[in-house]
Amino acid sequence: MRKFRSLATASVVALGLPLIAGPLVAQDGMPSLHTGDGALPGIEGLKPLPAPRSISPSAPSGPAAGLPAGKMPPPTDGVAQPIPQTREELLAELLDLLAKSPNSTEAAPIAEAVEGLWLQSDSDTVSLLMSRAAKAINDENNDLALKFLDAVIEISPDFAEGWNRRAYVYFLENDYDNAMNDLRRTLALEPKHFKALEGLARIMNESGQKKAALQAYREVLKINPNYDKAKKMVDDLSVEVEGRGI
């Protein structure tokens, strides 16, 4: 249904975000933690993150400039002016649209918009470090990538995507324990981060925790019901864990 795509597009454009936030393609078959195509992130073709845009109204000018703090100018021509959404409000709206989308075609641009929001930071320094970390991963310099991501987390410990991206680097280093810890931290900050959930599910599945992996994939589908790869994993693991129905 077109209304899902148009609503998502309008919401993202309101913040100046791209609908497709530089899709990352895993080179080793590992799905992406933060892309539209799998569980753990690759970085082929990654471009520097766009400079973050403020999600707060800019300082008033013109007739509104002389108003007391907290006061809004009267509506123009009797028409109320729209109030800009916060990042949290927009994210909640997009996730609601994602959960209600009727099929994977309609869900895809909404999921991409959600991922674009996850990448946005209110710190220019964090955005720069994230871009440099992505380049280091692309150059297969994981030690350097970890240094950049450590700095991201130190500067902005509440920025979920810093933890999420570092989890991927730990995965590349076969350090599953630290990867799992960072994914759990991501989910503590962004409980509906379906890509981090998918990353957990992938690691659980590969380490033989089939039942836990199945549950994690089912949680992914509660957030993004039309995620085809998660659907397939649920189907496959259901047979493996629970057996075929009679």
* DSSP for 114-146, written as a single string: HHHHHH--S-HHHHHHHHHHHHHHHTT-HHHHH
pLDDT at 246: 45
Contact criterion met (CB below 8 Å) for 203 and 177: no
Q: CB–CB of 8/108 below 8 Å? A: no
In this prediction, residue 244 carries a pLDDT of 64
The pLDDT value given to residue 80: 53
pLDDT of residue 230: 97
Contact 67, 94 (CB under 8 A): no
What gap in Å lies between CA 186 and CA 115, rounded to an integer?
A: 13
Ordered structural domains, the chain, with CATH: 2-50+85-242 (1.25.40.10)
Query: Within the chain, which residues score under 70 in pLDDT?
Result: 1-84, 244-246
- How high is the pLDDT of residue 69? 45
What pLDDT sits at residue 13? 46
- Tokens 């509104």 correspond to what residue? 64
Task: Look up residue 4 and give its two tokens.
Answer: 């899902």
116 with 12: CB under 8 angstroms? yes
| pLDDT for the residue 79 | 55
- Residue 105 to residues 4, 36, 41, 136, 228, Cα–Cα distance (Å): 10, 12, 22, 33, 10
